[in-house]
Chains A and B, each alone.
Chain A
Amino acid sequence: MKKNGKNSFNTPEGYFDNFNDRLMDRIKKEDMGEVTSLIPKTDGFVVPDSYFDEVTPTVLSKTVAKETKVVPLKPHRNFYYGVAAVAAIFILIFNMTWNSTPEPITFDNLANAEIESYLENTDFEMTSYEIAEVVSLEEVELNDILNDDLEDDIIMEYLDENVGDIEDLNLDDTYYE
């Protein structure tokens, strides 16, 4: 045993002679993962048969195959669309300019259906009396207002059924044919 001069601790014979070799050997083993036999060398995982053969086409179908470019059948189609769009705009502007001074719209241009629709749907805020004051009865025949011409027979039948006394009609001042 080798004794230290200043204290009573001892070291085994030749300890320091091969210390460097042992240290380097341990560092090398640790670096290589050969640390201890307690830790198993394999971890027990397995893969299904042929998994590694099948995974490549699966991955490629999700990457390369998806990005394959579709070659257009008519490569200049977008150009044609552009030209057509510009032409359409020019034609539209030309027509708008050409038709900018149309003939003024007169009452005769209106269809009867349009006038009727206007009268039915517009609120004039006038009572029937107010309308009667405006419209001259002398110029308007009854049959001008009604849709159908009234036959005399129909009028007589109506009066016969609905008027009790002919005197009630007060026809003295009225010329009745």
Chain B
Amino acid sequence: MIAEETLVQELKLEESRARAFEVLVNTYKERLYWHIRRIVLNHDDTDDVLQNTFIKIYRNIEKFKGDSKLYSWMYRIATNESLTFLKQKSRKMGVSNQELKDRMVENLEADVYFDGDEIQLKLQKALAMLPDKQKLVFTMKYFQEMKYHDISEALDTSEGALKTSYHLAVKKIEAYLKEN
């Protein structure tokens, strides 16, 4: 795999940008897909947001200063794009953000691209009740197995605050699964 610094340098040079961007897409498309999918839940919406994310990355690559890791920066863009997408969707539907999340989970039962059993569906219901930050930290840590340091860069939050959010999320999810 190509080193991140080399990739960034090639992305900033006009003559190597196209090839480097293809490498970037192929390297990160799956990780970013799953990150977005766990926020917007539906495959078609995820596809839209993933493409928008890559378009934003391509247009803004020259502004990437290298203060954080490239993939943390891309996760930040993907997260913002996903949350903005949900806000726009709830506005279009004329419902609150929470109402939209509840509907999204309800729709999972009929979704051909959701293969979850009863406990996995309950997990989604539990996640829908969490504040955005707690849900993000939980999915990034639990399912994507990211390190706190990397999550901290992606969400621009201190590691201490992330640990607290994660433990709170776990307690709430456990409590919900026990009760239901």
Interface residues of A (CB under 8 A from B): 30-31, 33, 35-36, 38-40, 42-48, 51-52, 55-56, 58-60, 62-64, 68
> What are the residues of chain B within 8 A of A58 when measuring CB–CB?
51
Interface residues of B in 71-130 (CB under 8 A from A): 113-117, 119-121, 123-124
Q: A44-B121, A46-B113, A55-B29 are contacts. A63–B174 as well, Cβ < 8 Å?
A: no
Contact A56 B26 (CB under 8 A): yes
Question: What CA separation (Å) do A68 and B178 show in the bound complex?
Answer: 56
Chain B contact patch, size range: 35 or more
Sample of 5 A–B contacts (CB below 8 Å):
A46-B115, A59-B54, A60-B22, A63-B58, A64-B22
Which of B115, B148, B167 has most A Cβ within 10 Å? B115
Judge whether B13 is part of the interface by a CB distance below 8 angstroms: no
* Per-position 1/0 for B123-164, Cβ under 8 A of A: 110000000000000000111010010000000000000000
User: Closest Cβ of chain B: how far from A53's Cβ, in Å?
Assistant: 10
Evaluate contact between A44 and B120: CB separation under 8 angstroms: yes
Which residue of A39, A42, A52, A63 contacts B173 across the interface (Cβ within 8 Å)? A39
> In the complex, what residues of B have CB within 8 A of residue A46's CB?
113-115
Q: How far is the CA of A132 from the CA of B153 in the complex (A)?
A: 102
User: In the complex, how many angstroms separate the beta carbon of B64 from the nearest chain A beta carbon?
Assistant: 15
- Nearest 5 pairs between A and B by C-beta? A44-B116, A44-B120, A63-B58, A64-B18, A59-B54
A48:B113 contact, CB within 8 angstroms: yes
Q: Does B43 lie within 8 Å of A48, measured CB to CB?
A: yes
Question: Assuming the A-B contacts A55-B29, A62-B55, A63-B54, are A35 and B113 also in contact, with contact meaning beta carbons closer than 8 angstroms in the complex?
Answer: no
Chain B min CB distance to A168 (Å): 95
Q: Which residues of B contact A (CB under 8 A)?
A: 17-18, 21-22, 25-26, 29-30, 33-34, 37-38, 41, 43, 47, 50-51, 54-55, 58-59, 113-117, 119-121, 123-124, 141-143, 145, 148, 167, 170, 173-174, 177-178
Kindly list chain A residues whose C-beta atoms are within 8 Å of the C-beta of B17. 64
Q: A33-B141, A35-B174, A47-B113 are in contact. List 12 more A-B contacts (CB 8 A).
A: A33-B142, A39-B123, A44-B114, A45-B43, A45-B115, A46-B114, A48-B113, A51-B43, A52-B33, A56-B29, A59-B55, A64-B21
CB neighbours (8 Å) of A45 from chain B are 34, 37-38, 41, 43, 113-116
